[in-house]
Chains A and B, each alone.
Chain A
Amino acid sequence: MSRDGDAGAERGTGGPPLRAVPTTAAADAPDADALLRAVARGDERAFAGLYDLLAPRVYGLVRRVLRDPAQAEEVAQEVLVEVWRTAARFDPARGSAASWVFTIAHRRAVDRVRAEQAGADRVRRVAASSAETPYDDVVDQATTRLEQQQVRRCLKALTELQREAITLAYYGGYTYREVAELVGAALPTVKTRMRDGLIRMRDCLGVSVG
């Protein structure tokens, strides 16, 4: 196993590169929290606004985990409709609207990947990743937003094992047991690296809740 990145970092040739889409600068972006509150009251126009704000990251995240554009489109649709359906359950005291949406998206994508078990689908996903742009290139293309620059900078500030554990789990959809196997580290070490790596990310990004 290469140790230089996440599950998508295999170098490969051919295949279209991931296209990162510049999203609206944070300063003048409509507020996702306000939009989601309006969506909870049944406001379809607010939902369209929320779609424009968050769909590129919902789709991008799901595609990154699933490695399959067709499945990603299907799952992204499920996620976005689920956001509409359950908007009233969003609780701002527990985090931001964007992270609520991305959490649903990630959970769905990971459930889909795990359901594939060890079958051909899972290998196809892994294999497809070899045709994708290496991780750093993706990040390089996605630096138009301040937040993206921050995420990249903060990921780079982690130790190699912290970064590897976090990116394999989050972008690769692997359990920590699988991550331990893939990187050849002990289970308690991987657990710890995930936690202290995220704590370091949290402090680096200045995340606070409530």
Chain B
Amino acid sequence: MTGVDIHALAGAYALDALDDVERAAFRRHLAQCEACAIEVTELCETAARLADATAAAPPPQLRGRVLAEITRTRQVGPASADTGRARAGTGWRRWAAGAVAAAVLAIAASGVTYVIQEDRVRQAGQVQAVLAAPDAVVQRAPAKGGGEVAVWTSQSRAARVVMLDGLLAPDAEHAYQLWFIRDNTPTDAGTLGAGMGNGVRLLEGVSGGSLAVTLEPAGGSVAPHEPLLATVPLG
């Protein structure tokens, strides 16, 4: 990251919108750049004001639990006595980010992180688009043995999002497989990872019929094996 770029990250930093690698880089920058340190302190104070609009009654039992827990919780001293690390830049903010910074990924790992992040972004973006579509409708069905299958359909996006939620995790030799069933004819609609009881799949197209889930050998089958563990009618 170049020095010119990095000042521009102050806003994203204040919003906790950097990944771990970038946050670590920006925090190093803060120790050397007084302008950013001052700006970030103010932008963090500003970002925290956004919490004002979220006030909601906590569950009543929370108060008693928290007050009981603090009587058993030892307090720590000021940070300067705690660690020799520099407190230059934005002290408390740097500390607040420190919980993660302690686990900051080595730069060597950043390539891997980036790839995972990109996949997650792509999936999140497409899935989000369906879920956020004004015409999205959801249909759910319980699965035999526990859990449920939910299907969001957006005609305008011409896509569906299928979520398997809390199904019994199969062993490593088996996986859940999705099927479109139309006129009693099943068509493969994707297979989850072996051993996975939860998963999300984006399905292109919105033709009718129903969606069924079966348990198959890992990697999937060409035709479904009984029983159908869940069937969701597709509107």
Contacts and interface: CB of A to CB of B under 8 A. Distances in A.
A63 B11 CA distance: 23
B97 interface: yes
Contacts of B100: 107, 111
Interface string A157-199: 0000000001101110111111101100000101111111111
A10 B154 CA distance: 13
B200 A84 contact: no
Contact of B41 (A44, A94, A152): A94
B90 to A, nearest CB: 6
Interface string A87-123: 1111101111011101111111011000001111111
B54 A191 contact: no
Interface magnitude class on chain A:
35 or more
Given A2-B134, A119-B200, A195-B10, A21 B57 contact: yes
B79 interface: yes
B11 A98 contact: no
Interface string B38-82: 010111111111111111111100110111011101111111001
Which one of A2, A23, A96, A202 has the highest number of Cβ atoms from chain B below 10 Å of its Cβ?
A: A202
A204 B174 CA distance: 57
Nearest to A98: B48
A127 B52 contact: no
B104 to A, nearest CB: 13
Interface stretch (B122-130, B177-185, B206-214, B221-229): B122-130
Given A118-B124, A174-B17, A138 B53 contact: yes
Which one of B77, B78, B129, B164 has the highest number of Cβ atoms from chain A below 10 Å of its Cβ?
A: B78
B70 A177 contact: no
Given A107-B99, A120-B198, A91 B92 contact: yes
Contacts of B132: 1-2, 10, 130
Given A81-B73, A119-B198, A178 B16 contact: no
B54 A60 contact: yes
Interface magnitude class on chain B:
35 or more
A18 to B, nearest CB: 6
Interface string B93-130: 10111011000000000000000110111111101110
Contacts of A73: 58-59, 62
Nearest to B197: A120
Which one of A87, A118, A150, A178 has the highest number of Cβ atoms from chain B below 10 Å of its Cβ?
A: A118
Interface in A1-44: 1-2, 7, 10-11, 18-21, 23, 40, 42, 44
B12 A194 contact: yes
A130 B96 CA distance: 31
A103 B93 contact: yes
A173 B19 CA distance: 11
A57 B55 contact: yes
B131 A126 contact: yes
Given A10-B131, A48-B67, A176 B12 contact: yes
A64 B54 CA distance: 7
Given A107-B100, A127-B163, A195 B93 contact: no
Contact of B51 (A105, A169, A202): A105
Given A119-B198, A120-B199, A181-B121, A196 B50 contact: no
Interface of B: 8-12, 14-19, 39, 41-59, 62-63, 65-67, 69-71, 73-79, 82, 90-93, 95-97, 99-100, 116-117, 119-125, 127-129, 131-134, 136, 138, 150, 152, 161, 163-165, 198-200
20 contacts: A7-B128, A10-B136, A42-B75, A48-B67, A56-B58, A60-B56, A64-B54, A86-B76, A88-B75, A88-B77, A89-B76, A103-B92, A130-B138, A169-B12, A175-B19, A178-B121, A195-B9, A198-B15, A207-B46, A209-B42
Given A55-B63, A195-B11, 12 more contacts: A1-B128, A19-B56, A63-B56, A80-B66, A81-B66, A85-B74, A103-B44, A118-B119, A130-B131, A142-B53, A170-B15, A194-B11
